[in-house]
């Protein structure tokens, strides 16, 4: 029988919704037991949240002073040690999971399946390659542990109402001291989170300056939306790096995605393919973004966006 261990992603005592999405993915393996491990100095609050997720059997508290920051080099040996009792180890395909999970896989001597989008069976998964221009079905050999990262845009978070048991866990792994946390900075802490937002308004190179980029915020506020950006807008310094949407940025699946002055390069489209409704405003009627847009509007965004904001607020 399958036993899945999910590595909880959390920050400042709060569970990241990515963990609940991993639970949904794990439920795709029929009859699997699902455990979540919380690595922290004090895991109590996060463990409680995790234990309430529907379908979870046990939540393990792995508490050590060294776990204050999610340093992959420090966490991986602990996860690898716990993983030996499981058939599957899942982490989210967020920067947290992408950093940690391959290190865990290598310590276990197995390959990793990145960005699982569907579970076909306990050993068989579908995942995107070539900026999601192809979807492959892969089969992991039955002999080893399956280590995978889970694509966030492909799963809904598991619901609440669960009553998992919460238990302490211990490992004997020797932890390295060669990696130290120094600092973090968040540019957009007061705005809706891009990865979980149901609506997103994104801007591209066309915005032409950081100052201009702010006109997006008015529209985003009117819609209750998070703000995103193309790589070109981030590279040019109009928007912060954590707003980049695409193959090498964030892959998102909002109900509504509004692309303003974004041409629709392959790498950008990879990030928005799962959006329910895509709206594109671009002055070039030939822009590739219109090939995927559900609603397209050809015109100058500097004229259209203020008008659109006014109409939405007046609604």
Residues within the interface to ligand FAD (CB under 6 A): 204-206, 230-233, 244-249, 261-263, 265, 267-268, 281-284, 287, 300-302
Task: Identify the three-state secondary structure at position 296.
Answer: strand
Phi (first) and psi of residue 211, to 5 degrees: -60, -50
In the complex, the smallest distance separating the C-beta of residue 246 from other proteins, rounded to whole angstroms, is 10
245 binds other proteins (CB under 8 A): no
| CA-to-CA dists, residue 19 to 35, 36, 135, 213, angstroms | 11, 9, 24, 32
Burial class (CB in 10 A: 0-12, 13-18, 19+), 257: buried
Q: Which stretch binds other proteins (CB under 8 A): 42-50, 55-63, 206-214, 229-237?
A: 229-237
In the complex, the smallest distance separating the C-beta of residue 229 from ligand FAD, rounded to whole angstroms, is 7
137 binds other proteins (CB under 8 A): yes
Among 10, 58, 61, 103, binds other proteins (CB under 8 A): 103
Which of other proteins, ligand FAD, none does residue 107 bind (CB under 5 to 8 Å by kind)? other proteins
Q: How far apart are CA 257 and CA 276, in angstroms?
A: 8
In the complex, the smallest distance separating the C-beta of residue 193 from other proteins, rounded to whole angstroms, is 9
Beta-sheet pairing, 14-15 with 10-11: antiparallel
Among 44, 68, 136, 210, binds other proteins (CB under 8 A): 136
Tokens linked to 220:
């985003």
DSSP state of 285: T
Which of other proteins, ligand FAD, none does residue 133 bind (CB under 5 to 8 Å by kind)? other proteins
Q: Which stretch binds other proteins (CB under 8 A): 36-44, 81-89, 178-186, 208-216?
A: 178-186
Query: Which helix (H) or strand (E) segment is 267 a member of?
Result: helix 266-269
In the complex, the smallest distance separating the C-beta of residue 42 from other proteins, rounded to whole angstroms, is 21
Nearer to other proteins, 34 or 110 (CB): 110
In the complex, the smallest distance separating the C-beta of residue 104 from other proteins, rounded to whole angstroms, is 8
Q: How far apart are CA 201 and CA 182, in angstroms?
A: 32
Q: Hey, which residues between 39 and 68 contact other proteins (CB under 8 A)?
A: none
Task: Identify the three-state secondary structure at position 303.
Answer: helix
Tokens linked to 141:
């050999």
Tokens linked to 213:
């980029």
Task: Identify the three-state secondary structure at position 142.
Answer: coil
Which of ligand FAD, other proteins, none does residue 204 bind (CB under 5 to 8 Å by kind)? ligand FAD
For residues 63 and 121, the answer to whether their CB atoms sit within 8 Å is no
138 binds other proteins (CB under 8 A): yes
Q: Which stretch binds other proteins (CB under 8 A): 55-63, 153-161, 209-217, 303-311?
A: 303-311
């Amino acid at each position: 029988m399958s036993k899945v261990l999910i590595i909880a992603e959390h920050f400042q005592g709060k569970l990241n919704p990515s963990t609940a999405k991993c639970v949904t993915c794990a439920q795709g393996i029929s009859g699997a037991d699902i455990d979540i491990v919380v690595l922290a100095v004090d895991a109590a609050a996060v463990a409680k949240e995790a234990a309430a997720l529907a379908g979870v059997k046990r939540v393990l508290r792995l508490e050590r002073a060294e776990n204050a920051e999610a340093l992959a080099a420090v966490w991986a040996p602990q996860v690898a040690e716990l993983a030996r009792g499981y058939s599957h180890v899942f982490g989210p395909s967020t920067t947290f999971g992408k950093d940690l999970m391959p290190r865990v896989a290598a310590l276990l001597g197995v390959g990793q399946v990145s960005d699982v989008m569907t579970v076909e069976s306990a050993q068989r998964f579908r995942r995107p390659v070539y900026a999601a221009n192809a979807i492959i079905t892969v089969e992991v050999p039955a002999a080893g542990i399956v280590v995978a990262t889970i694509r966030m845009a492909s799963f809904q978070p598991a619901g609440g109402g669960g009553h998992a048991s919460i238990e302490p866990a211990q490992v004997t792994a020797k932890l390295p001291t060669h990696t130290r946390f120094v600092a973090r900075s968040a540019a957009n802490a007061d705005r809706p989170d891009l990865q979980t937002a149901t609506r997103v308004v994104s801007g591209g190179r066309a915005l032409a300056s950081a100052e201009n980029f702010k006109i997006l915020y008015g529209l985003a506020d009117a819609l209750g939306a998070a703000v995103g950006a193309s790589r070109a807008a981030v590279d040019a310094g109009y928007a912060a790096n954590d707003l980049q949407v695409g193959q090498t940025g964030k892959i998102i699946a909002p109900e509504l995605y509004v692309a303003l002055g974004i041409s629709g390069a392959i790498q950008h489209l990879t990030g928005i393919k799962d959006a329910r409704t895509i709206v594109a405003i671009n002055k070039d009627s030939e822009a590739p973004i219109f090939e995927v847009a559900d609603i397209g509007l050809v015109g100058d965004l500097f004229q259209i966006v203020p008008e659109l904001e006014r109409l939405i607020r007046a609604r």
